Amino acid sequence: DVKVTQSSRYLVKRTGEKVFLECVQDMDHENMFWYRQDPGLGLRLIYFSYDVKMKEKGDIPEGYSVSREKKERFSLILESASTNQTSMYLCASSFQGTGQETQYFGPGTRLLVL
Amino acid sequence: EDQVTQSPEALRLQEGESSSLNCSYTVSGLRGLFWYRQDPGKGPEFLFTLYSAGEEKEKERLKATLTKKESFLHITAPKPEDSATYLCAVPHYNTDKLIFGTGTRLQVFP
């Protein structure tokens, strides 16, 4: 059974704090993705990783960084959290292919920055 | 520019009242179209992939169809448990990244 897990369902942080969100998949997928989801804006890609230690910026990378040291694990880092980073964060993974590979999502982390 | 547009934004149905959700797209060289269901506060759950115009896929009360410019998600005799946001997505040209629509929020009342 497909499984993507995220380290926290809910997080409350203060402005300026460093925040780590972790995602783990057990499907041996090459690709991993971080999105944020906001009402009216849909899912927006923050970063994408296609291999260990490899990353590619998505549509909204500003204020975020990522780390992928192991194939199954992809971390999203907010270096200095700001209130406009309050959002739902979703991790996904997929096999590499021709764009026809299904992305499977984790349960999401709802982050509130005060 | 690659783009995905879903309509309507919101749809309220009576239980048993069939309807359709629309996903229109502009993308260079369509390689697939994905439908997801998302319940409030949860991650999207994969429903279907359609690969070519004319293809149809079914799952319980849901049927997805694909033409060269749009996809429809038909809901037959919906039940309250079908209430959710339905998302569609297509791959960017020559990458594994997906472009998502903003979704249709479906509410089915008993």
Please indicate whether, in this complex, the C-beta atoms of A99 and B31 are within 8 angstroms of each other.
yes
Which chain A residues contact residue B97 at CB under 8 A?
33, 45, 48, 58
pLDDT in tens, A26-76: 999 999 999 999 988 889 999 999 999 999 999 999 999 999 999 999 999
pLDDT of res. B64: 98
pLDDT in tens, B54-110: 999 999 999 999 998 999 999 999 999 999 999 999 998 778 889 999 999 999 999
Q: Cα–Cα distance between A13 and A15 in angstroms, integer? A: 7
Mean pLDDT of B48-53: 93
Non-local (6+) Cβ contacts of A84 within 8 A are none
Output phi, psi for B82, to 5 deg: -80, -5
In B1-110, the DSSP E strands lie at: 3-7, 10-14, 19-26, 33-38, 45-50, 56-59, 62-66, 70-75, 84-91, 98-100, 104-109
CA distance B74 to chain A (A): 21
Q: Of the candidates A99, A57, A30, which has an alpha carbon nearest to the alpha carbon of residue B2?
A: A99
Sign of the C-alpha dihedral, residues A33, B101, B21, B23? negative
**What is the pLDDT at residue A22?**
97
Judge whether residue A99 has pLDDT over 70: no
The nearest CA of chain A is from the CA of B7 a distance in Å of: 13
Q: Exposed, middle or buried, B4 (CB in 10 Å: 0-12/13-18/19+)? A: buried
Q: Which residue has 């349960």 as its token pair?
A: A107
Q: What is the pLDDT of residues A5-29, one digit of tens each?
A: 999 999 999 999 999 999 999 999 9
DSSP A43-105: EEEEEEEEETTEEEE-S--TTEEEEEEETTEEEEEESS--GGG-EEEEEEEE--SSS-SPPEE
Q: Is residue A26 a contact partner of residue A72, using CB atoms and an 8 Å limit?
A: yes
Report CB contact under 8 Å: B49, A58: no
* Beta-strand relationship, B45-50 and A109-113: unpaired
Are residues A99 and B95, on separate chains, in Cβ contact within 8 Å?
yes
CB-based contact (8 Å) between A93 and chain B?
no
Chain A: nearest CA to B19, how far in angstroms?
23
Average pLDDT over residues A97-110: 88
pLDDT reported for residue A97: 77
Structure tokens at B67: 């033409």
